[in-house]
Amino acid sequence: MSGHGKKFSVHTAGGEEEPEFQVAPMVDVLLVLLMFFTATTTTEIKSQIADLTLPDAQDAKDREKGEGQFVVNINRLGGLEQAGGQSGLTEAALSQLIKKDYESTRKLNPNANYRVLVRADKDLGWEKTKVVLKAAATAGVANVVFATTKGGKG
């Protein structure tokens, strides 16, 4: 919606020369703000799916969008799942999935900085994360990153 010259005015008792309140430009601005906040909220919610609470780290870096990345969620029950994919994975199955994805990424871009992103629940023990590290090492991926939250509780 944009202003098409139609004016909605609020007249005060002062007479014809009083400044008018322009509703159409205000509606334009409001719509833009609304679209902005709607879009950002939806994106953030999408990235925080899975039944887990991330650990907090104040000095963590901002999240990068790598050329190739395999996201593993470890939910609060300790279950391993590929983000947007299979759940209840074993170490061997996870390793196979990472390897397959790594190879297909390298075919497209041999210089891709491929990485495995671990999103584990903060109340878990280290054991499950160790399984993911082993699976990544078996698949030949050296670069592993841990998802955290920054500046708040997860």
Give me the residues that bind other proteins (CB under 8 A), please: 8, 23, 26-27, 30-31, 33-34, 37-38, 40-41, 44, 47-48, 54-64, 115, 117, 120-127, 129-130, 133, 136-154
Residue 68 Cβ vs other proteins, minimum distance, rounded to whole Å: 15
Residue 120 Cβ vs other proteins, minimum distance, rounded to whole Å: 6
Q: Which is nearer to other proteins, 46 or 107 (CB)?
A: 46
Q: Which is nearer to other proteins, 57 or 112 (CB)?
A: 57
Instruction: Write the CA distances from 93 to 35, 50, 77, 86, 88, integer angstroms.
Output: 41, 20, 19, 10, 10
Dist. CA 93–CA 84, nearest whole Å: 16
CB 112 within 8 A of CB 105: yes
Q: Which is nearer to other proteins, 17 or 43 (CB)?
A: 43
Q: Which is nearer to other proteins, 87 or 130 (CB)?
A: 130
Beta bridge partners of 116: 70, 144
Dist. CA 136–CA 143, nearest whole Å: 8
Q: Which is nearer to other proteins, 93 or 124 (CB)?
A: 124
Residue 105 Cβ vs other proteins, minimum distance, rounded to whole Å: 15
CB proximity list for 66: less than 8 A, separation 6 or greater: 112, 113, 114, 115
Dist. CA 151–CA 84, nearest whole Å: 27
Residue 42 Cβ vs other proteins, minimum distance, rounded to whole Å: 9
Cβ neighbours, 10 Å, residue 99: 17
Residue 107 Cβ vs other proteins, minimum distance, rounded to whole Å: 19
